[in-house]
Each structure stands twice: as C-alpha cells, then as structure tokens.
A and B are shown apart, each in its own frame.
Chain A
Amino acid sequence: MSRQIAQRIAFALITAAAIFVIIPIFFIVGYIVFQGLGAINWEFLSAFPRDGMKAGGLLPAIVGTLLLTAGTAIVAVPLGVGAAIYLSEYAKDTTTTRAIRIAIVNLAGIPSVVYGLFGLGLFVIFLNFGTSILAGSLTLGIMTLPIIISTAEEALRAVPQSFRLVSTSLGGTRWQTIYRVVLPQALPGIITGVILGLERAAGETAPILFTVAAFFLPQLPTSILDQTMALPYHLFVISTQVPGMPLSIQYGTALVLLVFVLSMNLIATLIRRHYRHQRVW
C-alpha cells in the first residue's frame, strides 16, 4: 500500500531530522569535555592568568561571572517576581495589561547587543556608573527580566483557584492570600524560572562588552564600581584577540563556562522534576 510507504518515508525523514538536530549537541558538549578536560586542574581554577594569559588560571573570570550572576539576581528577581504577581493576582484584562504583555514579549526579543548599547547609554554614561559591575548587573538584570516574569507568572497561575478561595473564605486579604497560600505553592516553579534566567545571564557576552567586561585585571574587584573579567568575555578574548593562545586553555575555558551554565540548567530541571512528583494538585 502506497499510503503506508509514504508514511514510512515521512517518519524516517522526520526521525532523521530530529537526530540531525540532536547530534551536534552531543558533539559540542562531548568535544569540549574531551579537549578541555586536560587543562583543568586546581591552578586553572584558582590562579590569575600569567604570561599574557597564556598560562595560569581563570580565577578573576570565575569570580567575575559569579558576581555578575548575583548582581543580576538582585536586580531581576524582586522586579520580575513582583511583575509576575501583579500579572497573575492583580491585573484585570485591560489595555494596560495588554500593553504590559506586549512589552514583555518585546523585551524578550530585543537582541542582547542592543541591551549592551542601552546599558552603555543609560548606566555607564548618563548615570555615570562607568564600566562597572553595577552597570553590568543592571544591564543583565533587565535582559533577564522577561524570562523571570513569564516563568514566574506561569507558576503562579498554575496554583488552583480553589486555594485562593479557601484563603479568602477564611478572611484573608489579597496580600495574605498571595504571601501565605499562592507564593509557597508556586515557589518551586518560580525558582526554576529564576535559575534558567540567571543561566542565560551568566553565559551572555554581548551585554557586558561595553558595560563591565575587562580584558585583563591583575586583581579581583573590590567594589561594585570596579570593572571585572567574566568567563564568556574571557573565552571570546582568548579565542579571537590573543594570537598564539594554547588550544588547551581555550577549550578548558569553554569547558568551565559550559559546566557552570549547564549545572544551573541541571539544578533547575531537578527542582522541577522533584516538585512535579510531590505536587498534591
């Protein structure tokens, strides 16, 4: 029967396409682990770069990425979760709400390098923060905001309406209902979204190019108005700007960045799995 044959061919092609999509992911991760593992040792993780960054370690870049991720969280989490609570628990279906939703969609679509320009224009120059951790964290935080808002809102909305009804029937005000009933139930989902947002921020290069990233610094930053090195920018620099950089260091740096980012991804997935099984509703 030709229809059966057509189905078999179509399914085979589709399966082949899916495999074609998946294989490069294995390849990239596997190849970086294979090539980079040799460079990883204690010195690589705990020392400053030496000899024009061709030897030594990644300490300032690792510390910088940790600082920027923390800064991003401080900027984006309160604002993002607040906006999500507003959209889920306060907003009615009005023009304002629609404007907010369209704004979130567009915020999510703005290219990362345009965030970099915006950060340069507003934080570095107009507000005179200079190229600093403060300016970089604010830029990354704003970029992360739409991810946190949409995932947190989804988590809040998933809490059944009956939970809210019970709270109000016991005399709870809106805030009491949100704080005591809705938020605790939605917390795992919100945390997952926050981690995924921070994962994106930790791996971004373009927004920090002109707002915070330093080519090389001989010491760790001491204030939020200092510049800092960061892993993604460091990888970009050593793979394109420094001639004669040993490949093992390049792959080692890529591996450290990849492990940092993907472990955040793993944690988010595990939290989601864990609570999905525990959920009573």
Chain B
Amino acid sequence: MTKTQDTSASSSSDPKSGAAAEALTPIYEMHRSQASSLLEVVIERAIQTSGISAVVLVALIFLFLIKEGVPAFFEIPLSSLFAARWYPIEDYFGLISLVAGSLLVTVGAAAMSLPLGLATAVFIAEIAPSWARDFLKPFVEVLAGIPSVVIGFMGMLVLAPFVRTALDIPTGLTAFTGMLVLAWMALPTIVSVVEDVLDSVPKTYRDAGLALGLTRWQTIWRIVIPAGRTGILTALMLGIGRAIGETMTVMMVTGNAARIPTGLADIFMPVRTMTATIAAEMGEVAQGSAHYHVLFAVGLVLFLITFLVNLMAAVVVFRQTKRAERLLS
C-alpha cells in the first residue's frame, strides 16, 4: 500500500515524456485480453493515428511548398531571383529584397521586445505583489488574443500618423512602425516563456543569494536570470519566430515598398516583408504562373526559417531537461 502511494506521488510530479503511460503499461497489457471490445480496439487505433497526425501534417506542408515552390527556381533565372528588384509585373523576382525586409523588421522587433519582455516577466514573477500578478497575467494573455488585423488596423490609423509627425518623415508606414508593432506583438510569447523559466528557478537559489547579503535586485540579476539563461534564449527564439511570420499587421503598417535596406536611415522608410508579399499578391496571380511559383518559394523560405528557429528552441529545451534529469538522478 505504502509502496503504491510512493510510485503515484513520484510519477505524477514527473514531467518526463510518457512517464504516466509507461508505468501503467504492464497492468494495461494484463487487462487487455479480458475486456477489450471491438469498439475499444477501433478507438485505440484512432487515438494512435491522431497521435502521429502532427508529423504527417508538417511533412505534408513541406511537400506542398516544395511541389509548388521549387518550379520557380527552374522557371526564373537565378540572377533574377538574387537581384535586388522585386517587380513581378515586369518579371523581376528579387527575393533578396523581401528576405532583407523581413530580417530588418524582425531583428529590430526582437531587439526592442527582448528587454521589454524580460523586464515585464521579471516584474510579474519577482517584483509585483500577488494581486498585481493575478491581474497582469490574464492581461498579457488578452494581448496574445487580439487579432493581428485589429492591431494592424490601429497601427495604420493611430501609430503610423503619430510616427510620421513625431519623426517628421514623409510617411508613417515604415519599417520602424512595423518593428514597434511586432515588438509589442511578440511580447506575450516572450513574457510567458521567461516567466515560466523564472518560476522554475529553485527557491533555494534565491535564499542562498539573500543569505549572502545580496539585495533582492542583485539576487535577480546575478543569480536568477543567469540560471534561466537557456530558457530566456528559447523565449527570444520563439519571439523571433512569431515576429518573422506575422503577416497582416506588417502588411498594413510597413508601406510595402520592396527595397534592400542599406543604411540606418532605411529604418524610417517603407519596407516589404516576405509574409506581406505573399498575402498581398497571391490573390491576384494566375495559378501555375512563374509569379505563383515564386510566392510559394517565398513561403518555403519562411517555412524553413521558422522550422530552424523553432527546432533550435526545442533542442535547447530538450538539452536542458536532459541536463536536469542527469543532475537529479
């Protein structure tokens, strides 16, 4: 009896993948022969099939992007694809200006979003009194729930005119405006991941810092944040993934001029991203045309970038759990 309770306590708190299933499998196997009806067998098959659906879907998405996107590389000379001009009506398909536009906006957004998100997470997890925490956490979730088209709408009508008059530039629809909006939209991702990370730093670390006479801030800055640095890196990656894939807001606030940024001043000029190009042009192209295939190729590039970014984030998390398991065993 006591032994049973022990197992249950230890395994219910065990976050390891498949632990719950693994522990009970022998018992399930024993019961299987006596009670499994036909319906049960069918249901179990269905569950196992849906289990692998995610893998099948990722593969399917990748396949269709290749199928529709790769022909572009045969139909259009490479010199055109790697040129600076994107002007599809005259067969200029310079992917580089789109990639550069996306990178510019994303890097700018990440640079603004990380410190803000980190500070907000530290505020929620470490500094705020508990009533403020209960109030703030749902609020950050509300931000995650606002549709991107609504944020783009407000960015266009309120933020862009503000940027134009504040900076005294010809148009408010610039890369900078896009960065501001994207930075803000990436915040919920960064805040919630970093907050989880800070929560998972053991209380003993904090106690040790305070016992050594550090102030609360020194404890946070020198102990808690360094202890969570891999998690913070993950948050940054996920935030970047979020920003580079954002479509509607970017399309509405960045002005959509395809050009390669060359200097700092270009931040305050219109820019055109990969996502906005797909969204703006796919509706008007003839199916099967070179332009159609190029847009799928842009989608393929986006897919590969986000795939890599997320894979890296996932690997960091896996490695961290493994290390934790090693340390604790």
Interface residues of A (CB under 8 A from B): 3-4, 6-7, 10-11, 13-15, 17-18, 20-22, 24-25, 28-29, 31-32, 78-80, 82-83, 85-94, 96-118, 120-122, 125-126, 142, 145-146, 149, 157, 160-162, 164-165, 168, 171-177, 196, 199-200, 202-206, 209-210, 232-233, 235-236, 239-240, 247, 250, 254, 257-258, 261-262, 264-265, 269
Are A13 and B119 touching (Cβ within 8 A)? Answer: yes
Task: Give the distance to chain B from A37, nearest Cβ to Cβ, in Å.
Answer: 15
Cα–Cα distance between A224 and B182 once the two chains are bound (Å) = 35
- Asked if B326 is at the interface of the complex by the 8 Å CB criterion, the answer is no
Contact across chains for A122 and B20 when beta carbons are under 8 A apart: no
A93 engages B215 (CB within 8 Å): no
Q: How far is the CA of A29 from the CA of B309 in the complex (A)?
A: 32
A177 proximity list for chain B (CB < 8 A): 24, 28
A112-B245, A117-B68, A175-B40 given. 13 additional CB < 8 A pairs? Answer: A10-B221, A25-B142, A82-B49, A86-B50, A105-B311, A106-B307, A109-B238, A114-B299, A168-B24, A236-B153, A236-B252, A239-B252, A257-B147
Q: Is the CB of A111 within 8 A of B245?
A: yes
Please tell me if B93 contacts chain A, counting CB pairs below 8 Å: no
B65 within 8 A of A: yes
Which of B19, B35, B143, B238 touches A25 (beta carbons < 8 Å)? B143
Q: Are B44 and A174 in contact (CB under 8 A)?
A: yes
**B26 (CB) vs chain A CBs: closest residue:** A168
Q: Which of B53-102 contact A (CB under 8 A)?
A: 53-55, 57-58, 60-61, 64-65, 67-68
Report the separation of the CA atoms of residues A147 and B11 in the bound assembly, to the nearest whole angstrom: 25
User: Among the listed B145, B187, B248, B299, which residue makes an inter-chain contact with A117, where contact means beta carbons less than 8 Å apart?
Assistant: B299
Contacts of A7 in B (CB 8 A): 215-218
Indicate whether B262 reaches chain A with its CB closer than 8 angstroms.
no
Q: Which residues of A contact B19 (CB under 8 A)?
A: 93
B46 beta carbon closer than 8 Å to chain A: yes
Q: Which 7 pairs from chain A and chain B are nearest by CB?
A: A111-B245, A203-B147, A86-B51, A82-B50, A17-B119, A7-B217, A109-B310
Residues of B within 8 A of A239 (CB): 153, 156-157, 252
Residue from A94, A121, A172 in contact with B64 in the complex, judged by beta carbons closer than 8 Å: A121
Partner pick for A235 among B9, B51, B150, B275, CB 8 A cutoff: B150
* B279-329 CB contacts (< 8 Å) to partner A: 279, 282-283, 287, 295-296, 299, 302-303, 306-307, 309-311, 313-314, 318
B21 touches A91 (CB 8 A): yes
Q: Check A20 against B116 for contact (C-beta < 8 Å).
A: yes
Are A254 and B32 in contact, CB atoms less than 8 angstroms apart? Answer: no
Contact A145 to B53, CB < 8 A, known contacts A165-B8, A173-B32: yes
Contact B119 A92 (CB under 8 A): no
The answer on a CB contact under 8 Å between A93 and B22 is yes
Determine the chain A residues whose CB is within 8 A of the CB of B53 once the complex forms.
79, 82-83, 145
A206 to B273, CA, bound (A): 14
- Decide if B57 touches A200 in the complex (CB within 8 Å): no
Q: Does B47 contact A (CB under 8 A)?
A: yes
Are A97 and B123 in contact, with the CB atoms below 8 A? Answer: no
Which residues from chain A contact B191 at a C-beta distance below 8 Å? Answer: 21
CB nearest to B39 among chain A residues: A175
Please name all residues of chain A whose beta carbon is closer than 8 Å to the beta carbon of B254 when the two chains form the complex.
none
B169 at the interface (CB under 8 A from A): no
Query: How far does the Cβ of A117 sit from chain B's closest Cβ, in whole Å?
Result: 4
> Which of B4, B9, B40, B245: most chain A CB closer than 10 A?
B245
Q: Which residues of B contact A92 (CB under 8 A)?
A: 18, 21-22, 25
Question: Contact mask B263-276 → A, CB, 8 Å, 1/0?
Answer: 00000000000010
Contact between chains at A145 and B8 (CB < 8 Å): no
Of A15, A114, A157, the contact of B123 (CB 8 Å cutoff): A15
Contacts of B151 in A (CB 8 A): 28
**B311 CB contacts on chain A under 8 angstroms:** 102, 105-106
- Asked if B150 and A162 make an inter-chain contact with CB atoms under 8 angstroms apart, the answer reads no
Q: Is B109 an interface residue (CB 8 A)?
A: no
Interface residue B208 (Cβ < 8 Å from any Cβ of A): no
Choose from B15, B31, B67, B152 the contact partner of A171 (Cβ within 8 Å): B31
- B240: nearest chain-A partner, CB-CB: A109
CB atoms of B306 and A106 under 8 A apart: yes
Q: Are A90 and B48 in contact (CB under 8 A)?
A: yes
* 8 Å CB contact of A111 from B40, B116, B187, B247: B247
On whether A86 and B28 interact (CB within 8 A), knowing A93-B22, A102-B314, A205-B149, the answer reads no
In whole angstroms, what is the CA distance A110 to B314 when docked?
Answer: 14
Interchain CB contact under 8 A, B146 and A28: yes
A86 CB to closest chain B CB, in angstroms? 3
Question: For residues 1 through 38 of chain B, which have their beta carbon under 8 Å from a beta carbon of chain A?
Answer: 4-5, 7-9, 11-12, 15-25, 27-28, 31-32, 34-36
CB <8 Å contact, A117 and B295: yes
> What A residues does B65 contact at CB under 8 A?
114, 117-118, 121
Are the C-beta atoms of A165 and B218 separated by less than 8 Å? no
Measured CA separation A1–B141 after assembly (Å): 39
Give the chain A neighbours of B212 by CB distance below 8 A. Answer: none
The answer to whether B246 touches A111 (Cβ under 8 A) is: yes
A-B contact pairs, 18 of them (CB 8 A): A18-B128, A83-B54, A90-B47, A90-B51, A91-B17, A106-B307, A107-B58, A109-B241, A112-B148, A113-B278, A113-B299, A114-B245, A120-B282, A164-B24, A165-B7, A239-B156, A265-B145, A269-B141
B154: Cβ under 8 A from any A Cβ? yes
Complex CA gap A102/B16 in Å reads 15
Highest count of chain A CB atoms <10 Å: which of B57, B127, B140: B57
